[in-house]
Amino acid sequence: MGTISAPRVLVGGRLSGPAAVVVEDGRIVRVDETVPPPGPDHLALPHGILTPGLVDLQVNGAFGADFVAASPDEWRTVAERLASTGVTAFLPTFITGDLDTLVDALTRAHATRAALAAQRAARVLGVHLEGPFLSPAKAGTHPKEYLREPEPALVSRLLDRDEVRDVLALVTLAPELPGGLDAVRRFTAAGIKVSLGHSNATAAEIGQAADAGATLVTHLFNAMRGLGHREPGVVGAALTDERLTPGLIADLHHVVPAVCSLVMRIAGSRTALVTDAMAAAGMPPGRYRLGDVDVTLTEGDVPRNPDGTIAGSALTLDQAVRNLAGLGHDLAGVVGSASTVPADALGREDLGRIAPGAWADLVWWDDDLTVRRTWVGGETAYEADQA
């Protein structure tokens, strides 16, 4: 058993303190407003903020590796290095590709996730499959030749294989496609969350998908029918339907600052910050892979495919927090959008919060919102002074 105290601690959606977090067997036992005296089992952080670990629902890759093709060692390296950005749990994300290739990658991911479970690194919660059941009209950088309608037989290829079904945590699809609503029902019945994205759906069609069990919207504003004053589209539905958790890429490029602020003011309490990071994240300018696509990162820009389409991001989740805090948004709410909201979207009440019973996945931020130290299950996964 041990205690970590800090001048400010994010508990119950607000910053308070000083306070102490008591940890036993990797989980939080209690939060005390009375800070104990110094001792061998008490780590007293001298300054800064203690928050829950961050949870990223959309990470295609980072630090030079793309998850679809990455080796187990590369997965481990990414998971270890994500802890330096405050991320303690994440969904490796596979974009559209040949379905046989994706099924094979999902099968490998099942084994890799199990092998990484004991590592001092960010938790692999499961895979986010972004495609291939997406609208050709809103493909973005996804290769159109691999897009498919969610026919029952294709959905069955994902659900009838135990390893694949077990590792799939989230599927992004376009609900307006033929068979789309049935696919939503089948995935959700199997315990897999469904996000609506790369979609040209109307607001009414998005509502039908929510009725069928969909609960998230993938990278709001990007690759979807926009907000109209007579047809609200995917964007309007995401901003107004309380059943939906919209994902926001707050790199200030995918969505510009004024619109990020608009989202946070309208739907901030249910908005999940995501990175949509690809292999270029944490790397210098150069050429990288996103699934089957060659992507170029240039200085001061976002990753782009050869025709100039934005292709993922080079964002890290701690930078997204700094970006929104820098726009003047309440820090407690911003960190909640990067921790509690995405954890809740996955139904994980044991993650993304400082509360009794939750895993002791924690981040110590300096006063300038630089990550100083990260714990996963009460064990140090990153320490700035040791990096």
Burial string for 175-198 (b: 16+ CB within 10 Å, else e) reads: bbbebbbebbbbbbeeebbbbbbb
Q: In this structure, what is the dihedral angle of CA atoms 80, 283, 112, 163, given to the nearest 10 degrees?
A: 130
Query: Residue 323 has which token pair?
Result: 């970006």
Q: Which residues are catalytic?
A: 276
Helix 180-189, helix 203-212: angle, nearest 10: 30
Instruction: Enter the DSSP assignment of 37.
Output: P
Maximum distance among all Cα pairs of the chain, rounded to whole angstroms: 64
Q: Where are the alpha helices (DSSP H) in the chain?
A: 72-82, 99-116, 152-159, 162-167, 180-189, 203-212, 233-240, 257-267, 317-326, 331-337, 340-345
Cβ contact 250:260 at 8 Å: yes
Q: Which of 375, 273, 377, 336 is nearest to 6 (CA)?
A: 375
Task: Quote the CA–CA distance of 163 and 112 in Å, as a whole number.
Answer: 11
Give me the DSSP letters along 82-105: HGGGTEEEEEEEEES--HHHHHHH
